Amino acid sequence: MAIHLAAISAMQPFVFEELRKRGFVVHEVQHGKSWQEWVRELAPVRDEIRGVLSGGMSGLPRELIEALPKLEICAIHGVGLETTDLAAAKARGIVVTTAPVLFDDVADHALALALAACRRLVEADRFVRAGHWRKGRMGLGTSFWGKRYGIIGLGRIGSALARRLEGFGGQIAYCDPVPKADVGYARYETPLALAAASDILFLCAAGTPGGGPIVTRAVLEALGPRGVFVNIARGWLVEEEALVELLASGRLGAAGLDVFAREPEVPERLLALDNVVLAPHIASSTQECMRRMGECVIANIVEYFAHGRAVTPVSY
Ligand code: 8YV
């Protein structure tokens, strides 16, 4: 009997094609934005679904677990787990897998945003296209090399970023609840202390459920008018209103933002600011990374249903 899967997150078409080729029935409801929509659309097949294909943002909410009585596995196309109810999955014996193959691409993107913000690269592009060069020189940027780099969250993305930053001849420091014994970087107890000692602050922390923002107004103020803030983690980990206000008033120097509190909504005021580089949550959006993540989802589903064990399960 064919195994039914529900795809609630967007991924490359080859993932569904490959799974269908292998005999799975894939129900695509990934255009839905909330668990209520997924549950409603999956209602006619709720007793058939044995696997969910999800993403780092959509995860596996408790309500979806409750709505799918035959669910055995959720393969996440990403690494975010903040919307996945791991306790509820564990209680039902549902295997949850992630795609831990995006760290280098996300680190590249963090670096790209930081460089673009410091060197005013996006503004420079607009300047040339608008023909302003004929009338004069553009304003000065800020050096990126040799600075004090602060990383909030020295996990796999933060560590991949730190390795890259080593080539820029500055000082690397971090803030993480778990001290990393094997790195030579200074560790600060709080994001505030780290921000006060940084020129460029990178947010690379996981979006733990239940916690409030960790990059508060005070953290951004401590970074200051010459400071640069880069976020490739989650928008809701930052006090977004304060971020906008401080950027607009020049009390924070610049920012490179890939994520926002209410995606795909971006605060209107940011659109008019030249000291912020905006990206639509694309840190893992390279062809190579999407291919690797898709292959990881396929491998987890195929292995699990063939041999009862997944390739990259989350331990809970
Ligand atoms: C994407 C992410 O949102 O993995 C995550 O947590 O934020 C991103 O990689 C998405 O999961 C890619 O499909």
Clarify whether 77 is annotated catalytic: no
The domain 103-278 is placed in CATH, from the list 3.40.50.150, 1.10.540.10, 1.10.150.120, 3.40.50.720, at 3.40.50.720
Beta bridge partners of 313: 97
Q: How far apart are CA 210 and CA 82, in angstroms?
A: 9
Let me know if 92 is a catalytic residue: no
**CATH superfamily of the 4-101+287-307 domain:** NAD(P)-binding Rossmann-like Domain (3.40.50.720)
Q: What pLDDT score was predicted for residue 64? A: 97
**Domain residue extents for the chain:** 4-101+287-307, 103-278
**Tell me, what's the pLDDT at 211?**
77
Ligand 1 atom nearest the C-alpha of 10 is 13
Classify residue 281 by burial, with Cβ atoms within 10 Å: 0-12, 13-18, 19+.
middle
| pLDDT value of residue 20 | 98
Catalytic option among 27, 234, 239, 240 = 234
Whether the CB-CB separation of 214 and 234 falls below 8 Å is answered with no
Q: Which two tokens stand for residue 211?
A: 């916690």
Please state the atom number of ligand 1 nearest to the C-alpha of residue 78: 4
Q: What is the mean pLDDT of each run of 10 residues along the chain (316 residues)?
A: 96 98 95 90 97 96 98 98 96 98 98 98 98 97 98 98 98 96 94 98 90 94 98 97 98 98 96 98 98 98 98 96
pLDDT in tens, 85-144: 999 999 999 999 999 999 999 999 999 999 999 999 999 999 999 999 999 999 999 999
Q: Tell the burial category of 236 from Cβ atoms under 10 Å away from its Cβ (0-12, 13-18, 19+).
A: middle
Catalytic residue among 281, 291, 292, 303: 281
Distance of CA 251 to the CA centre of its chain: 26
pLDDT value for 247 = 98
Give the pair of three-digit tokens for residue 312. Answer: 């990259």
Annotated catalytic residue 66 = no
Residue nearest to atom 2 of ligand 1 (CA): 56
- Helix, strand, coil percent values for the chain (each to nearest 5): 40, 15, 40
Strand partners, 274: none
Ligand 1 pocket, Cβ-based, cut-off 6 angstroms:
9, 11, 55-57, 77-80, 102, 281, 284
Taking the CA of residue 57 as reference, the ligand 1 atom at the shortest distance is 3
Q: Do domains 4-101+287-307 and 103-278 have the same CATH topology?
A: yes
Angle CA(242)–CA(243)–CA(244) in degrees, nearest 5? 90
- Measuring from atom 4 of ligand 1, which residue has the nearest CA? 78
For the CA of 99, the closest atom of ligand 1 is 4
Catalytic option among 245, 263, 295, 303: 263
Q: How does strand 148-152 pair with strand 200-203? A: parallel
d(CA 20, CA 13): 11
